[in-house]
Amino acid sequence: MGATFVIVLREGFEAALLLGIVYAYLAQIGHADSRRYVTLGATLAVAASVLMGLAVSLLSGPLADVGPDVIALVVIFAAVALLTWHGWWMGRHARELHGDLQRRVDAAHASHQLWMVGLIAFTGVFREGAETVLFLWGLTTQLQDLTGWAALGGAAAGLVAAAILGWLVFQGGRRLSVQRFFGVTSVLIMFLAAGLFSAGVGRLQGIGLLPGGDPLWDTSWLLDDHGGAGGFLAGLIGYRARPSALEVVAYLIYLAGASLVFFPRLFRRGSGNGRVETLILTK
Amino acid sequence: MKRLAMTSFLFGGCLALLLALVPTAAAQDKPVEVSVTLEKQKFTPEEVKVKAGQPFLLVVTNKDAKPAEVESKDLRFEKVVAPGKTISIRVRALKPGTYVFLDDYNKSTRGKIVAE
C-alpha cells in the first residue's frame, strides 16, 4: 500500500504543483475568470493520457515503438518552451503589476495570451499522465485479494494527497504579494525547466541521437535519484546522481540563458531600483 | 503579435528538430536485438550480454496480466509495456560494464545488461 501511495504521489505532485502555481498566478494577475483555460488544459490532458494508455495497450509495431518516444520528447521540449515563455513574461511585466488589482488586470489583458497558461497545465498533467493511468489500470487487475485492494487504496490516497498539496500551493501562492509570488515562482520554474531541458537532452542521448551518455560523476552514494528525497528533487529541479556531461552543460546553459530572460533587471546596468533580490527577500 | 511569432518559432523549431531526428534514427542500420521476457514479475533472462560500443534494441515481452514500466535511470529510458505486448527500446552504445533496469511499477523486478 505504501509503495503505490508513494508512486502516485510523486507522479501526481509535479502536476499538482504546476496546477497550483498557474491557478494562483491567474488569481494574482486578476484573471481568475481565465481558470477555465487551465481546467480545460488539465481535463484534456487526462483524456489524452487515457487515450495514450489505450493506444499503448492496443497497438503494436513500429509506430507503437517510436510513437511514445516522440510524444515524450515533444511534451518535454514543449513544456520547456512554455515555461520559458511564462518566465519571460513574468520578468518583463513584474513591475507593471505593482498597482491595484485593476491595473494588474489591464496589464495582463494587454499583453498576455492566457490560453497559453492552459497549455502549461496540459503539458504538466500529460507528461506523466499516461504512465499513471496504466499504473492504476494495472492495479485494478489485481483486486482478487486484500493486498490488491490495499494497493489500489494506497494509489487513491496518493492521488488525493497530491491534489491537497496542489491546493495548498494555490492557497499559499495567491496570498503572497504579487512581487514575491512572481519572484518565488520564477526561480522555481527556472529550475524545473532546466531539469526538464536536461532530461530531454538525456533521453536524446539514451536513444543515441546525441553522442555521449556516460556519467560525468556519481553522487548516488550521497543522494540516490531513484527514491525518497533524491527522487523528489529529480522531479522538481532535475537532480541526477549520475549525469552525463551533455546533461550538465544543457542544465547550466539553460540556467544562464533563463536567468537573463527571467530576471532582466538583475542584469541591466545600473539597476538601482526594483532588483529581483529585493523582490524576493523584502516584501 | 511579436510574442505569438516568437512562440510559434520556438515550437516550430522544436518540432522540426524532432521530426528531422527521428527518421534519421530509424534509418540507421538495424541494430542487434536482445530479448527479455517479463513473467511472474521476473525478467528472464535476468542478465543479458551485449557487445560494448554498439547500440542495440532491448526487446521486452510482457507475459504478465498487468502493465509494466521498463526503466533505467542510467540508460535514460522508461517505456510502458502493456500485458501481452512486446516493445523495443533503443539503447545507445555502452562502455563495458553492468547496467540495471527495473519495472518502475514494481521496483523489486530487476534485470541487468552486461556490456563487454
Residue type, A267: F
Cα–Cα distances (Å) from B57 to A271, B60, B98, B109, in that order, read: 54, 9, 16, 20
Q: Are strands B68-72 and B56-62 parallel, antiparallel or unpaired?
A: unpaired
Cα–Cα dist B72/B112, whole Å: 10
pLDDT in tens, A201-211: 999 999 989 99
Examine the domain organization and report whether B23 and B36 are in the same domain.
no
User: What is the average pLDDT value for chain A, to the nearest integer?
Assistant: 86
Q: Residue B11 pLDDT > 80, yes or no?
A: no
User: Residue B61's pLDDT band (boundaries 50, 70, 90)?
Assistant: very high
The grid coordinates of residue B15 equal 518540432
Instruction: Among B11, B92, B104, select the one facing A206 at the smallest CB separation.
Output: B92
Contacts with B7 from chain A: Cβ below 8 Å? 81, 85, 116
B-facing residues of A in 117-156 (CB < 8 A) are 130-131, 134-135, 137-139, 141-142
User: Residue A282's pLDDT band (boundaries 50, 70, 90)?
Assistant: very low
Contacts with A85 from chain B: Cβ below 8 Å? 6-7, 10
* Number of structural domains found in chain B: 2
Cα–Cα distances (Å) from B95 to A31, A214, B53, B75, B114, in that order, read: 53, 8, 6, 11, 10
* Cβ atoms of A25 and A177 closer than 8 Å: no
Q: Can you give the pLDDT at residue A274?
A: 46
Q: Residue A125 pLDDT > 90, yes or no?
A: yes
Q: What is the mean pLDDT of residues B35-51?
A: 94
DSSP state of B29: P
Q: What is the mean pLDDT of residues B103-109?
A: 87
Pick from A205, A111, A18: nearest CA to B21 = A205
Quickly count: other Cβ atoms within 10 Å of residue A144's Cβ.
8
Q: Residue A98 pLDDT > 70, yes or no?
A: no
CA distance to partner chain A, nearest, from residue B23 (Å): 10
Q: What is the mean pLDDT of residues A139-153?
A: 86
Examine the domain organization and report whether B87 and B55 are in the same domain.
yes
For residue A152, give the 3-state DSSP assignment: helix
Q: Can you give the pLDDT at residue B24?
A: 56
Q: Can you give the pLDDT at residue A269?
A: 58
CA A127 to chain CA mean position, Å: 9
DSSP state of B31: P
CATH of residue B84:
2.60.40.420
CB pairs under 8 A between A and B: 111
Which helix (H) or strand (E) covers residue B59, if one does?
Answer: strand B56-62
Q: Residue A185 pLDDT > 50, yes or no?
A: yes
Task: Give yes or no for A281 touching B (CB within 8 A).
Answer: no
Among A65-79, A149-163, A269-283, B37-51, the range scoring the smallest mean pLDDT is: A269-283
CA distance to partner chain B, nearest, from residue A64 (Å): 8
Q: Residue B28 pLDDT > 80, yes or no?
A: no
Structural domain that includes position A253? 2-281
Q: What is the mean pLDDT of residues A102-127?
A: 79
Residues 6+ apart with CB under 8 A from A193: A79, A80, A83, A84, A87, A254, A258
Q: Can you give the pLDDT at residue A101?
A: 65
Q: Give the strands of the sheet with B77-81, arranged side by side.
A: B47-50, B106-115, B97-103, B68-72, B77-81
Examine the domain organization and report whether B49 and B2 are in the same domain.
no
Examine the domain organization and report whether B77 and B46 are in the same domain.
yes
Instruction: Among A53, A84, A213, select the one facing B92 at the smallest CB separation.
Output: A213
* Cβ atoms of A225 and A233 closer than 8 Å: yes
Task: Give yes or no for B32 touching A (CB within 8 A).
Answer: no
Cα–Cα dist A57/A66, whole Å: 14
| Cβ distance of B83 and A78 shorter than 8 Å | no
Q: Can you give the pLDDT at residue A236?
A: 86
Q: Can you give the pLDDT at residue A278?
A: 47
Q: Can you give the pLDDT at residue A44?
A: 96
Q: Can you give the pLDDT at residue A172?
A: 95
Instruction: Among A65, A81, A209, select the one facing B11 at the smallest CB separation.
Output: A81
Among A42-56, B11-25, B26-40, B66-80, the range scoring the smallest mean pLDDT is: B11-25
Q: Residue A162 pLDDT > 90, yes or no?
A: yes
* Number of structural domains found in chain A: 1
Examine the domain organization and report whether B109 and B55 are in the same domain.
yes
Examine the domain organization and report whether B68 and B23 are in the same domain.
no
Examine the domain organization and report whether B50 and B90 are in the same domain.
yes
Q: What is the mean pLDDT of residues B43-67?
A: 93
Contacts with A207 from chain B: Cβ below 8 Å? 25, 77, 90-92
pLDDT in tens, A235-252: 889 899 999 999 999 999
The grid coordinates of residue A249 equal 552543460
Examine the domain organization and report whether B11 and B66 are in the same domain.
no
Q: Give the strands of the sheet with B86-91, arranged side by side.
A: B42-44, B32-39, B56-62, B86-91
User: Residue A272's pLDDT band (boundaries 50, 70, 90)?
Assistant: very low
For residue A143, give the 3-state DSSP assignment: coil
Task: Find the helix packing angle between A178-206 and A245-262, rounded to 10°.
Answer: 150
Structural domain that includes position B100? 32-115
Is the alpha carbon torsion for A256, A253, A197, B103 positive or negative?
Answer: negative
Higher pLDDT, A235 or B45: B45
Cα–Cα distances (Å) from A282 to A104, A219, B81, in that order, read: 21, 35, 51
Q: Can you give the pLDDT at residue A58?
A: 86
